[in-house]
Copies of this chain bind each other. A is one copy, B any other.
Amino acid sequence: MPEYCPITYSMKVLGSKWKIPIIFKLMIEDGQHYNHLKRMIGDNITNFMLTKSLRELEADGLIIRHDDHQVPPSVTYHLTPLGKDLAMTMNQLFDWGQELYSNKEKNSSNSIDHLKQQ
């Protein structure tokens, strides 16, 4: 059964744990090498998950894997136009995330204020 809602479909493609960080890093600097990407993400991603995520992003047409066929291996990853089109949406999600966060902070401090008044 196909996925009819484009939003749900987008969430499926972007929703796994490391996809957004990867795309975000490639937006900052396109054409990064595997290990450079890994270091930028923070080194807490395993090789397995990084490779898996990159292959899926490639299959979904968001990035392109460029292999120089050298020894030692040299592979770079680039955003496709489709991948780059995510920039605007990312910015909006970023802004909304900050709003969400400050909203939560506000609620927390309200609870603290409530305690202080006792």
Contact = CB atoms under 8 A, between A and B. Distances in A.
Given A89-B89, A89-B92, A92-B89, A100 B8 contact: no
A101 to B, nearest CB: 6
Chain A interface helix/strand/loop/mixed: helix
A20 interface: yes
A103 interface: yes
Nearest to A2: B101
A11 interface: yes
State which size class the interface on A falls in. Answer: 20 to 34
Interface in A60-99: 60-61, 82, 85-86, 88-90, 92-99
Contacts of A61: 100, 103-104, 107
Stoichiometry (number of copies): 2
Given A92-B88, A92-B92, A100 B10 contact: yes
Contacts of A34: none
A39 to B, nearest CB: 17
A101 B12 CA distance: 12
Interface of A: 5-11, 13-15, 20-21, 24, 60-61, 82, 85-86, 88-90, 92-101, 103-104, 107
